Every structure is written in C-alpha cells, then in structure tokens.
Amino acid sequence: MLFHDETIDGLISQNDSVDAFIHLIYNDFCGNLNILDISPDDKCLIEEFIKVTNDHGLDYPQFNELLLLLNQKRISEGFFHFLFNDRLSNIEDLKNGIISFRGFAFLSFGQFFNAFEHLRNLTLTQLQERLKPFSTPRHQIEHSFKTRHDKVLKIKRIDKSLVYYNGFITKEHYTREAKLLKQFLEERRSLGDYGVSPIDLEKEYNIIGKDIELTEKTAKQNTDIYLTWDFLDIYISTSMRQSWEFRETYEFIDNLFSSSALSDLNLRYFDPTQSLCLNRIDKGLIEGLMLKRASCNIYMVQEFDTMGKDSELAATLAQGKPVIAYVPQIQDLKQFNNKIIGYPLDYHYHRCIEMQTQSKALDKDYEKEMISNGCDASLVDDFITLYLEHRDKYPFSLYRKDREIFLNRYDNFSQLCTAISIFSKHMYDKRAKTLKSIHPLSVQIHLESGVANGILVVRDPDTCSKLLRKILLNDLEFQTEYVGKKPNGVWALTETISGCPFRVVTENRRLTNSFWNFYLNS
C-alpha cells in the first residue's frame, strides 16, 4: 500500500515551524482533537528535537522521549519499526511514517482518534495480524497466486452465442412462442408476409429448444463445479434478462480476465453467464455463498439495476470487502452505433421506453447533442408504435429473421440507433457521477468494524483489470483529501486509479462520538 497526504506533506515548512511539528505529532499521529497548550520553554525543547531529527535522526527510545515531552503515551518498538523501520532519518521520514499510519487507520479502523491507542503497544507480529489483509506484502500475495495448484474440475465454457439460452426469461419466451407457433400450425394460419413458412419456423424453434436444453445442462454442471472449488477470488454482480445483457456480460468478463494485468494470477471467479440453478432458493443460497467467499465484487452497471444486484453490492461492502463498479463509457458514438445496430429489436424497444421516461433527467448537453445529430422525440415515438404493431402481428421474437423483416418496413433505424447511442452515453455518464460523488449509499458500513467503505468506479475493462490486480495484491495507492469546509467536512482516502473515496472519516464530532459509543457496543 502506498499513501500520500498533501496536507501533512506541506505541514512543516522549510522554517521547521514548531507549531506545525506539534500538530503533526499531537493531532495527526496521536489522534487528539483538542489543541495542546505548550509553554514557551517546552517549545524551545521541541525546537531542539526538530534540529536533532533533521541533523541526526531519531531512534526508537528518542522518539518516545519526544512523545513524553508532548505528554503523549509511548509506543512499542514494533510500532516504531512498522512505521519508520529502524530509525527516523529526518522530518520527511517522520511525515511519511505518520501518513502511512493514518492510511492504515483509515483502512482498518475508520477513524483516527483511537487507532493510535489500539496499535501503540503491539509487537510487529501483532500489528501485521491486526492490520490484515492490508499489511500483507504484495510479493507474498503475488507468489501465492502464481503458485496455486490447478483446478481438478474446470468450467465447460458456453459459447457467447448460446449464453442467452441460460436465462429464465429466455425459456419463458421460448415456451410462449413455441406454444403460439403450435397454434399457428394447427390453425394453418398464413405467415406468407413473414417471409418464411410455418414449417421452417417450426424447425428453427426445435433447434432453439435443443440448444436451451444443452445449455441448461452445461450451466448446471458448471454450478456444481463452482461449489467444489476450495477458493474464489471475484464475484460478478450483474442483471441479465435479455440476450444483449448476456452478451455484454460475457464480453466484459472475457476481456477482463484475459487481460495481461490478470492473466498470470491463476484467478478463480464466478461467471454468472456460465451458471444456472433451477429454483430461486438454491440460487439465492449459492450466490450468497459466493459473495461470502470472494475477496472482491465487480458490480456491472447496466440499463437496469435490480434489487438482487444492488443487494450483492451492499452485502459485499457490509463484509468490508472492495467493490468495483464498472460503468461503460461511450467515447465513440459511431462505434457504439455499429455495435447496437445488430442487436435484437427488443433492445431498441426497451431503450426507447427508457428514453421516454428518463431523458428529462439528463443534462442540457444531452439535448444539444440530440439536436445536433438530427434526433427528436418523434423518432422514438414512431419506432415504438411500429414495433408494437409488428410484434402484435409477428410475435416470434426469437426467430432469426425477425429484425430483418421489421427493418424492411422501417426506414429510420440508423438514425434511431444514433439517438440510442447518445442517450446511452449520457445515461452512463450520469450514473457514474452518481455512484462516484452523489449517492450517499455509495459508501456503506462494514458491519463488524464500523469502517465506512466506498465503491470504486471505473469506466473501461482495461482500467478495471489494473485496479483489480492492485486490490488483490495489496498494491493500491491512496491520496488523503479533505472534502468540504472545516469543521464540517470529511477526510477521504481516495484511491488514485478510480479517483473514488475508498474510506471516509467525518469531522462531525457529535456524530463521531455517538457512532463509536453505540456502534461497537451494539
């Protein structure tokens, strides 16, 4: 772990201010909130300590002499070694050690005022144990990942084109449409305008039925294999109802874990596109078990966020474990447009419905971009009307030519996709901003310790893989920042890759006093 704190870095000027030095020890290190009244004679002695520190450094007994001079409690040799190694060489070493202490106080205690009291008498071994998992050296963790034994039972990968058949809603769609097709055949109803005979349609639905059966069998076997693994590193929280959601989840997971940042770590992760459980109770128990066992949760922000996915995020933070929220970032509208133009009609219908209800909540830049690209509300309204007419007449949404037949009757599809791309871009940007800096529940409490844990937001798979590696290897870098105006602000331990607060400490004294009086005693 690497910690930075610009406030402490700039606290003692080149003039070696005595008052700043006292503040550094008394407030920032020992965690005292009240101002210490130091006599002029004592300030002269402290000034001598500053000079000796800069000229010759301080060892363990001399540092304790400084603490006693400031009427503070002494620390153990193990605590001194943990922060300063064998000797303090100068004031910079002192500041760096205190910055490190405050970083660990953030991570493990969620406050400063009694972290010093908890740690000051511990041996080095006891300190390393108390501050786990954050105190474990990176090289030690990396070695343990790379030397893991191989899995005996490996997941049998379901192809991206078939993972959609692993969904409950897919099966419901198939059952409903196959039943309707049977009625068409029995009544000898014509589908001449549809461009295919009912017999050809029946053959295709028979193939779909067999694919669903085979996919379900493989996914259930994969679930049994997940249950045999003796460890699990990452859980993926996602909402998958429609075919494009399965596809996007598959692509994200595949890109993430094949990246160079993670490929050498022999990671084990729960891939929801490859797993199936046929009753909701077992599914809930299995996913709860995976959340308990995994070290980290990746929360995929999608079109719709569900209670299940949000509960998994909250449950992870409540265990004191990190959550990475992946929010797609659309930088190239043309590229995104080319991607979604091949999606099923249901995708465009769902997005249009969302545009009708959510567009007003977006900023003025959204409206300007829509206008500059020649997109207006009538484009969306017209598509919805035509889509509903089409679906009423031709209810076979799983048929591979369904989209092609509709587009023969609709001329503005490319422009509609442009409108959807613009909406998706602004919608994802808004949700990323909400998670990163607006929503109060993006910081939640570790139930055991009371530490406030924040979500880390990333916008692309490459950044996600780099951040995940640093989380798993205890290699994160943090900047301590003060947010708001004193004395009513908060201290935030901001993770540098995501720019998000990973831990927070409020300066509201009444809240702090009440919280820690009640929380741990409860």
37 vs 56: CA distance, rounded Å? 28
Backbone angles phi, psi at 4, to 5 degrees: -130, 150
Q: Are 151 and 182 in contact (CB under 8 A)?
A: no
Angle in degrees, 0-180, between the axes of helices 461-472 and 243-257, rounded to the nearest 10? 50
Distance of alpha carbon 118 from the chain centroid: 30
pLDDT tens digit sequence for 295-349? 999 999 987 777 778 889 999 999 999 999 999 999 999 999 999 999 999 999 9
Q: Are 459 and 329 in contact (CB under 8 A)?
A: yes
485 vs 479: CA distance, rounded Å? 18
pLDDT at 16 over 60: no
Q: Are 474 and 271 in contact (CB under 8 A)?
A: no
pLDDT tens digit sequence for 17-64? 888 888 889 888 988 877 667 888 888 888 888 888 888 888 999 999
pTM for this prediction: 0.90
- The mean pLDDT of the chain is 89
pLDDT interval class at 144 (50, 70, 90): very high
- Between these two residues, 512 and 79, which has the higher pLDDT value? 79
CA angle at 6 for the pair 434 and 318, rounded to the nearest 5°:
40
pLDDT interval class at 437 (50, 70, 90): confident
The C-alpha torsion from 356 through 362 and 367 to 373, rounded to 10°, is -80
Which of 163-177, 191-205, 318-332 has the highest average model confidence (pLDDT)?
A: 318-332
Distance of alpha carbon 225 from the chain centroid: 26
The helices-and-strands tally (H runs, E runs) of the chain is 22, 11
Per-residue b/e over 412-430, b at no fewer than 16 CB within 10 Å?
eeebbbbbbbbbbbbbbbb
Angle in degrees, 0-180, between the axes of helices 77-84 and 60-69, rounded to the nearest 10? 100
Q: Are 404 and 341 in contact (CB under 8 A)?
A: no
pLDDT tens digit sequence for 358-377? 888 888 899 999 999 989 88
State whether residue 264 is helix, strand or coil: coil
User: What's the rounded mean pLDDT across residues 141-169?
Assistant: 91
State whether residue 219 is helix, strand or coil: helix
Residue 371 is which amino acid?
I
Q: What is the pLDDT of residue 499?
A: 94
198 vs 185: CA distance, rounded Å? 6
